[in-house]
Structure 1
Amino acid sequence: MAAAARIDRLGVVVHPDRPLERALETLRAWSTAHGAEVVQIHIRGQERVVAPTGDAAACDLIVALGGDGTTLAALHAAAPHRLPVLGIACGSLGALTATSADATEEALTRFVSGAWHRRVLPGVGVSADGSEPHVAINDLVVVRKGANQVVVGVHVDGELYVRFAGDGVVLSTPLGSSAYTMAAGGPLLAAGTEAIVVTPVAAHGGSTPPLVVGAGSTVTIEIEGGFGGARIEFDGQIKELEPHVLTTSWCADYATLVRFDGAESAFAGLRRRRILMDSPRVLARDERAAAGARADVTA
Structure 2
Amino acid sequence: MIPARIGVVVHPHRDLDEALATLRGWAAGHGEEIVQIRVEGQERQVAPLGDPADCDLIAAVGGDGTTLAALHAGAPHGLPVLGIACGSLGALTATHAGELTVALDRFAAGAWEARALPGVAVAVDGHAPKIALNDLVVVRKGANQVVVGVEIDDEPFVRFAGDGVVIATPLGSSAYTMAAGGPVLAGDTPAIVVTPVAAHGGSTPPLVVGSQKEVRVTIDGGWGGARIELDGQIHDYDPKELHVAWRAGYATLVRFAGAETLLAGLRRRRILQDSPRVVARDERERAHEPDAGAAG
**TM-score normalised according to structure 2 size:** 0.98
**Alignment counterpart, residue 50 of structure 1, candidates 46, 50, 55:** 46
What is the match of residue 130 of structure 2? 134
Change (3 A) 1:82 1:296: closer
What is the match of residue 269 of structure 1? 265
Letter of the 2:90 counterpart: G
Letter of the 2:11 counterpart: H
Instruction: Check conservation: 2:86, 2:96, Cα contact below 8 A.
Output: yes
Q: By how many angstroms is 1:294 displaced?
A: 5.8
For the residue of structure 1 that corresponds to 2:87, the secondary structure is coil
Aligned-residue RMSD, C-alpha: 1.1
Match status 1:88 vs 2:87: no
Q: Distance in 1 between matches of 2:105 and 2:77?
A: 22
Deviations 1:122-150 (CA, angstroms, capped at 9, x unpaired): 00001001111000100000011121111
For 1:4-153, list aligned pairs within 5 A: 5-153=1-149
**Alignment counterpart, residue 238 of structure 1, candidates 223, 234, 237:** 234
Q: Distance in 1 between matches of 2:200 and 2:150?
A: 15
Deviations 1:29-57 (CA, angstroms, capped at 9, x unpaired): 00011111100100111011101111011
Letter of the 1:258 counterpart: V
Instruction: Check conservation: 2:191, 2:208, Cα contact below 8 A.
Output: yes
Q: Percent identity?
A: 68
What is the match of residue 208 of structure 2? 212
Deviations 1:214-269 (CA, angstroms, capped at 9, x unpaired): 11111000001111111100001111111200001211110000001121111110
Q: By how many angstroms is 1:6 displaced?
A: 2.2
What is the match of residue 196 of structure 1? 192
Which has the higher mean CA deviation after the structures are superposed, 83-92 or 234-243?
234-243
Match status 1:279 vs 2:279: no
What is the match of residue 157 of structure 1? 153
Q: Distance in 1 between matches of 2:140 and 2:256?
A: 40
Q: Distance in 1 between matches of 2:290 and 2:276?
A: 21
For the residue of structure 1 that corresponds to 2:228, the secondary structure is strand
Q: Distance in 1 between matches of 2:179 and 2:94?
A: 24
For the residue of structure 1 that corresponds to 2:99, the secondary structure is helix
Instruction: Check conservation: 2:187, 2:261, Cα contact below 8 A.
Output: no
Change (3 A) 1:85 1:221: same
What is the match of residue 167 of structure 1? 163
Give 5+ residue unaligned stretches, structure 1: none
* Alignment length (residue pairs): 295
Match status 1:187 vs 2:183: yes
Instruction: Check conservation: 2:227, 2:239, Cα contact below 8 A.
Output: no
For the residue of structure 2 that corresponds to 1:288, the secondary structure is helix
Q: Distance in 2 between matches of 1:103 and 1:296?
A: 35
**TM-score normalised according to structure 1 size:** 0.97
Q: By how many angstroms is 1:11 displaced?
A: 0.2
Deviations 1:75-101 (CA, angstroms, capped at 9, x unpaired): 000000000000000011000000101
Q: Distance in 2 between matches of 1:30 and 1:164?
A: 55
Deviations 1:2-49 (CA, angstroms, capped at 9, x unpaired): xxx121110000001010000000000000111111001001110111
Give 5+ residue unaligned stretches, structure 2: none
Change (3 A) 1:294 1:71: farther
For the residue of structure 2 that corresponds to 1:293, the secondary structure is coil
Q: Distance in 2 between matches of 1:276 and 1:288?
A: 22
Q: Distance in 1 between matches of 2:107 and 2:215?
A: 38
Instruction: Check conservation: 2:14, 2:86, Cα contact below 8 A.
Output: yes
